[in-house]
Amino acid sequence: MSAEAGEKNAMSLRTPPTSTNTGQAASVKIKGAPSKYVKLNVGGTLFYTTIGTLTKLDNMLRAMFSGRMEVLTDSEGWILIDRNGKHFGTILNFLRDGKSILPRSRQDLEELQAEAKYYLVSELLEKCQKALKLKKDEFFPVCRIPVITSPREAKLLVAKTRKPLVRLLFNRANNKYSYTSASDDNILKNIEMFDKLSLRFHGRVNFVKDVSSGNDEICCWTYYGRGVQVAEISCTSIVYTSEKKTDQKLSAPEKSRVEFPEARILEETLNVLLYEEVESESDDFDFDFARVRDRGCLYSDDEDDHGAKVKP
């Protein structure tokens, strides 16, 4: 007996008399020992598993591979299932172990729920429904702004991201000299401008707030494209004033002046878009970056009405 004939006999493939060996799909009934392997083509994604796994729980797959239902096979023996194979591996793992890691995103959970419903895997369906119920009230911010606290963090962040990056350093605690009267207002204007730009371009540019100490700057914008600094705007300057008393010039105290060059900030932000890689995927750099930081955490600079007022 040939190997091909032996394999068909072991799996008890019963082909209807009308089937032909022309390379087209044929309807067959499959039944075999639990240890026998079968080849599955689920929407173009290939899987290799045992009949025992497919028939472990009471579901549609058990009916398909216990001889009760006809299934389609191609000329190479692959069993054809006309479903998306994206989540079929998760279903197989659940059938093997009775548990499986569920996807994190709501969309993937809904897709897995639909597949579990189709294959009648009731236990997995219940788990998906519970996970979706927990995500119902989950809040997803419009955009997330990492707050870095050391030069090392800044270096790692710039090196990792592929998107253009805008970094605002502000350090009001660096009060070596007293501030001029308008400086406090200008610091707040720079921060407000940063928030507006991050909401406007958050899908295309990464924005980072830098509150690290040990820097002589009080307020500074830095722009990066493809991991290289391309522009910088220092909003800080030192002014010297003189005081007169009895017509004699006394010492000239120094004061820190913070400016708000709004037009240039906007110009450089638009210029950094030239370094955008249109084909690149979303950069979720904050999650990986958090694992290598020595201190600090991520903060979300969101307001309740950001999404309603600002369009990316």
pLDDT the model gives residue 129: 93
pLDDT the model gives residue 192: 95
Task: Fill in the DSSP letter of residue 21.
Answer: S
Cα–Cα distance measured from residue 94 to residue 158, given in angstroms and rounded to the nearest whole number: 40
pLDDT the model gives residue 125: 94
pLDDT the model gives residue 31: 75
Looking at 92, 111, 135, which one is the last position of a domain?
A: 135
24 plus 97 within the same structural domain: yes
180 falls within a domain = yes
170 plus 303 within the same structural domain: yes
- Using alpha carbons, list the distances in angstroms from residue 86 to 47, 82, 129, 134, 210: 11, 12, 19, 23, 40
197: its two tokens: 């730009």
Check: CB of residue 29 under 8 Å from CB of residue 71: yes
91 plus 207 within the same structural domain: no
Q: What is the domain count for the chain? A: 2
Q: Which residues contact 239 (CB under 8 A, 6 or more apart)?
A: 180, 254, 255, 256, 257
159 plus 72 within the same structural domain: no
42 falls within a domain = yes
Mean pLDDT by 10 residues, the chain (312 residues): 42 39 64 86 93 91 87 90 94 92 90 94 94 77 83 88 92 74 89 94 91 82 94 88 52 77 96 80 44 41 40 38
Check: CB of residue 225 under 8 Å from CB of residue 272: yes
CA Rg, the chain, in Å?
A: 32
Amino acid in position 153? E
Strand order in the sheet with 236-240: 178-179, 254-258, 236-240
204 plus 94 within the same structural domain: no
Neighbours of 309 (CB within 10 A): 9
165 plus 274 within the same structural domain: yes
114 falls within a domain = yes
Beta strands 206-210 and 228-234: pairing type?
A: unpaired
pLDDT the model gives residue 233: 96
pLDDT the model gives residue 17: 38
pLDDT the model gives residue 110: 93
287 plus 176 within the same structural domain: yes
pLDDT the model gives residue 288: 44
Check: CB of residue 256 under 8 Å from CB of residue 178: yes
168 plus 75 within the same structural domain: no
110 plus 188 within the same structural domain: no
Amino acid in position 150? S
165 plus 289 within the same structural domain: yes
**Torsion angle of the four alpha carbons 18, 23, 24, 30, in this order, in degrees rounded to the nearest 10:** 70
140 falls within a domain = no
Residue showing tokens 């010039």:
249
Cα–Cα distance measured from residue 65 to residue 202, given in angstroms and rounded to the nearest whole number: 50
171 plus 256 within the same structural domain: yes
Cα–Cα distance measured from residue 183 to residue 255, given in angstroms and rounded to the nearest whole number: 10
Check: CB of residue 292 under 8 Å from CB of residue 159: no
pLDDT the model gives residue 279: 53
- Residue 209: domain span: 145-309
86 plus 109 within the same structural domain: yes
pLDDT the model gives residue 234: 94
Total-model pTM: 0.48
Looking at 135, 153, 185, which one is the last position of a domain?
A: 135
Cα–Cα distance measured from residue 230 to residue 227, given in angstroms and rounded to the nearest whole number: 9
64 falls within a domain = yes
179 falls within a domain = yes
Q: Residue 271 belongs to a domain with what CATH number?
A: 3.40.30.10
Q: Residue 44 belongs to a domain with what CATH number?
A: 3.30.710.10
226 falls within a domain = yes
pLDDT the model gives residue 292: 40
